[in-house]
Amino acid sequence: MRRSFARSTRVTTALVISTLVLWTFAPAVSADDGLEVTTPFPAVAVAPGTKVSFDLTVDSTRAANVSLALSGVPEGWTASLLGGGFVVDAVAVTSAAAAEVRLDVDVPADAAAGTSTLRVTARGGGAQDILQISVRVNAEAAGDITLTTSTPTLTGASDATFTFDLVLQNDTAQDVTVSVAASGPEGWDVEATLTGETQAASTIVEAGATQNIGVTATAAAGVPAGTYPIAVEARAGERTIPAELGIEVTGSYSMELATPNEALSTSGQAGSVTTQAFEITNTGTAPLTGVTLTASAPSNWEVTTDPPSVPSIAPGATETITATITPSGEAVAGDYEIDFAAGAAEEGAEASRTVRFTVEASEVWILVGVGLIALIVAGLFYVFRTYGRR
C-alpha cells in the first residue's frame, strides 16, 4: 500500500510540474494576452474580378512591434497588407495607440463560386492573435452602376440649347473613378460634364453614392425638323455605362418680307386703286402655316390682300401676296407711310416692311390748273395789248 501510494504521488507531482513548465513557456494564442486584430466586416461577398479592402485595427495592452502574416490566400488571388503607402510586414503599437492596416484582396475574374477563409496572424510582445476573414465569391454580389435620367427626350426649336440632367448610381461595394463623354449628329455641339466638378475630367464615386452629370446639346445651323440621337457614355473603373438620349427638333420659325424689285415705294391717285406685290420667304427650318399679310394705313384708306392667307410655306420657299391699296378720295397730294406685316400666328414668326405711298394730283385738277394758267396768260396778253399803247 505504501509503495503504491508513493508511486502515485510521484506521478501526480510529475504531471503538475510538466503542466507548469508548458504553461510557462508556451506562446500566447488568444486576444486575452493583450493583442487583438479586428475588422468591422470580417465576412463579405464579392463578384469575380473585383477588389475588396478590409480596414484592420491592431490593439495591444503593451508597447510592441507586432509582425503580421497572411495565410489561406487561394491560388490565383492576390492579397497585401498596406499601411502608410507601403506593403507592411509589421506595425508598432502601444497601449495608448492602436495601428491601422488595410488588407487588399484581388479576386480574379475566373474565381470559382464559394467561400475562402484568409487568416491574418499577429505576433508581438509575447502574444498572438489570429483574425479570420471570410470572402464569398458570388457573381450576383457585384452590384450595378446605372446611368438614368427623368427626361430622356427633349423637344424644341433648332436654335434652342437642350440640357439633360443624368444621375450615375454606384450600387457596387467599391469606389470607382468616373469619367463621362457625349456625342451627337455631325455638326452638333454636345458636351457632358460632371456636375459640381469644375473642369474635372474624372471623379471618384464612393460605393453606394451618386454623381450628377449634365449634358448640353446645340443643333447644327439650319438643321431640319426631326428626331436626333445623343449618345452618352460613362466609364466607371473597367465598366462602360451607356445612355441613349433623344432631341426632337421642331425647327426654327422665321420669315422675310420683301418686294419683287426691292423697291419700298409706290404711288397712285386719291380714290384710285394701286397694287403692290410682296414676297414672303420662309427662312426657318420648319414649315410656316396660315401666313397672312396685314397693313396699317392712314385713316379712310383701304388695303386688301390676295390671297387673304397662304396655307403653308415650306422651308426656303417663297410665296407672293398682292396688296391692293386705295387711298382716301379726300387724300391730298403728298407722301404717306403704310406698314405691312407678314405673320404665321401658330409658329410665332413675323416680318414687316414700311412702304412709302405718294398720292399724285388728279388729272382733272391738272387740266383745271392748265386752264387757269392759260386764262391768266390770255388775260395778261389782253391787258398789255390794250393798255400798252397808252
Kindly state the cell numbers that stand for 329.
378720295
374 or 317: whose pLDDT is higher? 317
Cα 216 → chain centroid: 5
Which DSSP string do the residues of 143-197 spell out, in sequence order? --EEEEES-SEEEE-TTSEEEEEEEEEE-SSS-EEEEEEEE-STT-EEEEEETT-
State the sign of the Cα–Cα–Cα–Cα dihedral 26, 129, 31, 128.
positive
The per-residue pLDDT for 366 is 57
pLDDT value at 326 more than 90: yes
The per-residue pLDDT for 129 is 95
| Residue 26: band (very low, low, confident or very high) from pLDDT cuts 50, 70, 90 | very low
The per-residue pLDDT for 239 is 84
| Residue 362: band (very low, low, confident or very high) from pLDDT cuts 50, 70, 90 | low
Q: Buried (b) or exposed (e) across 16-40, using 16+ Cβ within 10 A?
A: eeeeeeeeeeeeeeebebbbbbebe
Q: What is the mean pLDDT of residues 299-318?
A: 95
The per-residue pLDDT for 363 is 60
pLDDT value at 98 more than 80: yes
| 8 Å CB contact between 220 and 159 | no
| Residue 179: band (very low, low, confident or very high) from pLDDT cuts 50, 70, 90 | very high
pLDDT value at 387 more than 80: no
Nearest CA to 171 among 191, 190, 148? 148
What is the distance between the alpha carbons of residues 205 and 234, in angstroms, rounded to a whole number? 12
| Residue 388: band (very low, low, confident or very high) from pLDDT cuts 50, 70, 90 | low
Write out pLDDT tens, residues 250-285. 878 899 999 998 999 999 999 999 999 999 999 988
Sheet containing 309-313: which strands, arranged edge to edge? 265-269, 349-360, 334-344, 288-296, 309-313
| 8 Å CB contact between 127 and 28 | yes
The per-residue pLDDT for 347 is 84
**Three-state DSSP string of 304-337:** EEECCEEEEECCCCEEEEEEEEECCCCCCCEEEE
172 or 213: whose pLDDT is higher? 213
pLDDT value at 348 more than 70: yes
State the residue for C-alpha cell 495601428. 99
49 or 154: whose pLDDT is higher? 154
The per-residue pLDDT for 14 is 45
Write out pLDDT tens, residues 182-231. 999 999 999 999 988 777 889 999 988 999 999 999 999 878 889 999 99
Q: What is the mean pLDDT of residues 154-178?
A: 90
What is the distance between the alpha carbons of residues 136 and 103, in angstroms, rounded to a whole number? 16
pLDDT value at 9 more than 70: no
Q: What angle do CA 242, 247, 252 make, to 5 degrees?
A: 155
The per-residue pLDDT for 225 is 83
What is the distance between the alpha carbons of residues 115 and 136, in angstroms, rounded to a whole number? 4
Comparing 8-17, 209-218, 229-238, the range with the smallest average pLDDT is 8-17
pLDDT value at 356 more than 70: yes
333 or 378: whose pLDDT is higher? 333
142 or 222: whose pLDDT is higher? 222
352 or 368: whose pLDDT is higher? 352
Q: What is the mean pLDDT of residues 57-66?
A: 94
| 8 Å CB contact between 231 and 242 | yes
| 8 Å CB contact between 165 and 149 | yes
| Residue 99: band (very low, low, confident or very high) from pLDDT cuts 50, 70, 90 | very high
Q: Domains in the chain, please, with CATH?
A: 31-141 (2.60.40.10), 145-249 (2.60.40.10), 255-364 (2.60.40.10)
Write out pLDDT tens, residues 75-96. 999 999 999 999 999 999 999 9
| Residue 367: band (very low, low, confident or very high) from pLDDT cuts 50, 70, 90 | low
Q: What is the mean pLDDT of residues 374-389?
A: 71
pLDDT value at 45 more than 70: yes
| Residue 354: band (very low, low, confident or very high) from pLDDT cuts 50, 70, 90 | very high
